[in-house]
Amino acid sequence: MTIPRRPSPTPGLLTGLLITLAAVVASGIYVTWQISHVRALQTDIADRHRRDSLQLLRIQNDLNSVGLAMRDMLDNDDDYPLTAWQAQFERIRTDLDDAMRRQEAVAVLPPSPEQRQLLASAIAQFWEAADRIFELARGGREPEAREQIRLSLQARQAALATAVARQLVQNYEAEEETARRVQTIYSEVQQQVYWSAAAVAITILLTSLYLIRSNRRLFSEMTALSEARRDVAQRLITTREATFGEIARELHDDLGQVLTALGLMIARAVRHVPSGSPLQSELREIGGIAQSALDNVRGLSQTLHPSILQDAGLEETIEWYLSTARRPGAMEVVYERHGTPWPLENDVAIHIYRVLQEALTNVSRHSGADRAWVRLSFEPASLSLEIEDRGRGFTANRPRAGGDGLGVVTMRERASLIGGSIAFSNPAAGGTLVRLVVPKPVPKRTADL
């Protein structure tokens, strides 16, 4: 089975992540800049409006002071000279000039050159008129000076006060307009935040959908690969058993028969040799070697494909196999059998037997233990086979040093082939416990004829 190789989703995920980060960073920078700009604009304009209004109020107050002074000059019934108010006018004039200069410097909406020229001309004409009045007063012409105040100077003062009041109203209107502009900018920033959040959310959603799609594709490919691997492993196991069976038959039928015939021929030759002859002793020695070779061939044949399984059953085959393992210097194996045996198909029995072989081989090679326990239990609904040792310990996730894990994979696949399960654990006493559980087959019902 060929699985098409697909490109890795990592570049796409990294691209989505970079786009998301870029959107977040750009949105944060823009919003921060807008807010700082609005804050600076609001602070600067508000401060300038405040100082402008203060200077306009100062100008208005000076003009009002001039108006009050002129009213006092006109309402004076005593023989108090008009020139006595000249010092007060000079102080007001100095303060008014300073206020006009400061107001022009801080004005948020400075007047046009024409307006500035008209205002400066009006103020200059007012003070020229005031100077002429005081000259008339110093020349002894106070009635004429008062008449000029009434006819000219008060009108000029009223016009200036009206102009300043109009400018103060414009300043208030400009302040309200600035507040509206700030509110508009805040609304735009808020809208931009919403758009940025929506863009980030959409980017994250698209990235998540791509990730989900990639994960589903990867899981699908992994499932296909796992099924393909399992199919290959099961085919290899089946092929291996068939090969072992063929080799076992060849050894038993061909080489075994040859060695049997050779033994018979040697025995017949021994009977024809005179008793006590050195040749007779040599022939008997050769016969012993032939018999030993025959026993080894039969043992190897049984190991490769135990025909005893078909004749005696699984429990007797296990006893036979463990008896062959009890050699001097070999690991001691304690065998326990529980329950009433029930029949097993030959294919199921051979896989259980192979799991036992593989587990004991692992114990002998890697555990360092000098004893192992084998427990075979026939239960009403299942069969369980346990192989336990007190060695260094071994699990499917942490193989012993020197192990490549292939035996574990093979044992798992054999358990899967017969519909069972196998577990690897570390008992509290140490070592490893391998437990194979095989369900009892359901008897097939015979169809009614």
At 153-175, the pLDDT tens digits run 888 888 888 887 887 787 777 77
Buried b (16+ CB within 10 A) or exposed e, 95-112: ebeebbebbeebbbbebe
Identify the residue with better confidence: 327 or 260.
Answer: 260
Confidence band of 395 (pLDDT split at 50, 70, 90)? low
Distance CA(59)–CA(98), nearest Å, equals 9
Average pLDDT across the chain, whole number = 78
Residues sharing a CB contact under 8 Å with residue 397, sequence separation 6 or more, in sequence order:
none
What does the DSSP 8-state code read for residue 82?
Answer: G
Q: What percentage of residues in the chain have a pLDDT greater than 70?
A: 86
Taking domain 314-439, whether its CATH number is 3.30.565.10 is answered by: yes
Contact assessment for residue 245 and residue 304, using Cβ atoms and an 8 Å cutoff: yes
Average pLDDT value for residue range 180-186: 78
Q: What is the pTM of this model?
A: 0.48
Does residue 125 surpass a pLDDT of 60?
Answer: yes
Question: Cβ–Cβ contacts within 10 Å for residue 113, how many?
Answer: 8
Q: How far apart are the first and last CA of the chain?
A: 43
Average pLDDT value for residue range 398-415: 67
Contact assessment for residue 414 and residue 354, using Cβ atoms and an 8 Å cutoff: yes
Contact assessment for residue 371 and residue 389, using Cβ atoms and an 8 Å cutoff: yes
Give how far Cα 150 sits from Cα of 66, 77, 130, 139, 146, Å: 13, 15, 12, 18, 6
Does residue 432 surpass a pLDDT of 50?
Answer: yes
pLDDT value of residue 374: 93
pLDDT value of residue 394: 64
Which residue, chain included where needed, has tokens 């959107």? 23
pLDDT value of residue 399: 47
Question: What token pair was written down for 26?
Answer: 């750009």
Average pLDDT value for residue range 206-228: 81
Contact assessment for residue 214 and residue 9, using Cβ atoms and an 8 Å cutoff: yes
pLDDT value of residue 152: 81
Average pLDDT value for residue range 343-366: 87
